Amino acid sequence: MAPRPQTRWGKNRPPERRIWLPLLLLSSLLLAVASLNAVAAFLRRANDLGRRCAPRPAECTAGDVTSPRRRIAIVSFSDESEGGGRRSFRGVRAAVEGNKRAYAEQMGYGYVDARDLVDRSRPPNWSKILAVRSQLPLYDWVFWNDADTVVTNPNTSLESILEAALGHGDFESSPDLVVTEDFNGVNSGLFFVRRSKWSENFLDAWWNQTSFVHFGSTKSGDNAAMKHLINSLSAEELSVHVHIPQMQCLFNSYPWVPSWKSVYRLISSPVVTWQGVYSDGDFMAHLAGLDEKKKWIEMVLVVEPLSNDKAAPNSP
């Protein structure tokens, strides 16, 4: 590399100027950090500022009151044997499980921890398919929850989420898979599966996508496999069986964390960011891709406390 030519800011500049430069850099840095925090605070108020994740209840057609109440289960597992690392899951199960169990109990849903079903021949995230498949015969709807998700507004029922997503509450005419999209397309961290032959077949086909199995990174391939399967459906099959709500924040909100990646995404995909960013009042927060998940869970839960005291058995 050629030596840099000396500029007029070189050795001979007066000493006062040498003080200004670092001060200028420092204040720009502080300004940048302050504006990032301001952006985070702004996005966190998205719902106050008029964003609507779901239509108002009155805009949904009322569910058929004569139909039986649907059996719904929240299915999850947390694999803590994954160990430490920066993207630590340690302690997440303790922080989240009480939250989910209390919510399920309050609403009359099943809660299934499918930890025992983890198939060690693949990265643990793949076993969500086995977990959902195992519960499908027992429930009408299975709601899969990744371990790094928490219920932040326990007053919201899953029925109302489904109804908001589908525009009706009729089980028989419902699609079989309800899943949201983020910057990368569909996100398999949170999704609903309806009990049906199509769903069983879809889950089996998903499990069969062995070419996507990938060890040794945060991307284990299960999400890519789901995306691939959905993309390979015909337009007709897609429209009948899969529903992707427009608003990601209906049940899969991502907290906005000041980082260069978030800033890049905010600038390159402002609409996707707005539709998916976690705001106070949202039903669920998903700490996808965040390090220090336990800290984030505590932060989200502290500001949006659960109405039910039982819901936080792990707090001191």
Ligand X SMILES: *[C@@H]1O[C@H](CO)[C@@H](O)[C@H](O)[C@H]1NC(C)=O
For ligand X, the closer CB: 189 or 245:
189
For the CB of residue 175, give the shortest distance to ligand X in the complex, in Å: 18
Strand extents, DSSP E, the chain: 72-76, 110-113, 141-145, 149-151, 177-182, 185-194, 242-243, 284-286
Does position 204 interact with ligand X (CB under 6 A)? The reply is yes
For the CB of residue 19, give the shortest distance to ligand X in the complex, in Å: 45
Q: Which two tokens stand for residue 192?
A: 């609903």
Q: Which of 27, 37, 218, 239 binds ligand X (CB under 6 A)?
A: 218
Return phi, psi of residue 213, to 5°.
Answer: -65, 130
Residue with CB nearest ligand X?
220
> Residues binding ligand X: what is the number (CB under 6 A)?
16
Nearest to 165 by CA among 181, 179, 151: 179
* Residue 257: Cβ within 10 Å count: 16
For ligand X, the closer CB: 208 or 246:
208
For ligand X, the closer CB: 71 or 115:
115
Give the single-character DSSP code of 283.
S
Does position 97 interact with ligand X (CB under 6 A)? The reply is no
Q: Which of 27, 67, 184, 208 binds ligand X (CB under 6 A)?
A: 208
Please state, in angstroms and rounded to a whole number, the distance separating the CA atoms of residues 83 and 163. Answer: 39
Does position 160 interact with ligand X (CB under 6 A)? The reply is no
Q: Which residue has the tokens 């220090």?
A: 292
Please state, in angstroms and rounded to a whole number, the distance separating the CA atoms of residues 100 and 106. Answer: 10
Return residues touching ligand X (CB under 6 A). 123, 125, 146, 148, 153, 155, 189, 201, 204-205, 208, 218, 220, 288-289, 307
